[in-house]
A and B are shown apart, each in its own frame.
Chain A
């Protein structure tokens, strides 16, 4: 699986968009970009994933650069409940094993 690099921490004002970057310069063609988050002491929660196109769901948007070497998770209107550690994970799923490798993630703090 490709290695990912994320900033250790970020702040965002409540109501503003939170843009969380992830660098994955060694990503290969069949690897997806996944985002999970972990709100304090809870189990990780799936947010969104993408292969090459930009994706949007009810939680967030995922923007992947054309060369796929980096991506940005966007929370359009951050709330205090979005304060969490956000993990960017790059993974291919060519077999039946689904294990994920969690790095250190980005601690997002939404400020009132």
Chain B
């Protein structure tokens, strides 16, 4: 199993550009989510999905879009990049339903917006 994979590892954008951060998992997990982590801070939830076709907002959703057309993939779209979106982005996945299932995190995408 590759686990949770994220691409790209690093990205530099200019203000106003758009891009998609990719996340994929091969563990057949229903639940997937995106977090951002600013320097010296904990992770904050952006969006999450409990299954294909179902997404919902987290704590900091503004400026980001998501969709979930397959169980394996959960891309995060930045619509018009701003310097405030400079951060490290982590994708995570887990089994869903009642039960203390652990979450698996990807290696992160380091995004700089100039």
Which applies to chain A's interface (DSSP): helix, strand, loop or mixed? Answer: loop
Tell me the total A-B contact number using a CB cutoff of 8 A.
Answer: 67
Q: Specify which chain A residues have a CB less than 8 angstroms from the CB of B102 in the assembled complex.
A: 34, 46, 49
Which residue of B4, B30, B103 has the most chain A CB atoms within 10 A of its CB atom? B103
Choose from B42, B100, B105, B108 the contact partner of A45 (Cβ within 8 Å). B105
Asked if B61 is at the interface of the complex by the 8 Å CB criterion, the answer is no
Contacts A46-B102, A51-B100; A96 near B90 (Cβ below 8 A): no
Which one of A17-25, A60-68, A102-110 contacts B?
Answer: A102-110
Contacts A32-B100, A49-B100, A87-B42; A96 near B105 (Cβ below 8 A): no
Asked if B86 is at the interface of the complex by the 8 Å CB criterion, the answer is no
Q: Specify which chain A residues have a CB less than 8 angstroms from the CB of B33 in the assembled complex.
A: 98-99
Query: 14 pairs across A/B with beta carbons < 8 Å?
Result: A32-B100, A41-B108, A44-B43, A44-B92, A96-B31, A97-B48, A98-B31, A98-B96, A98-B103, A99-B48, A100-B45, A102-B35, A102-B42, A104-B41
Please list the 7 inter-chain residue pairs (A to B) with the smallest Cβ-Cβ separation, ordered nearest first. A43-B105, A102-B42, A46-B102, A102-B43, A96-B50, A96-B96, A98-B31
Q: A34-B102, A96-B97 are in contact. List 12 more A-B contacts (CB 8 A).
A: A43-B90, A43-B105, A43-B106, A46-B103, A93-B99, A93-B100, A96-B31, A96-B50, A98-B94, A100-B45, A101-B45, A103-B42
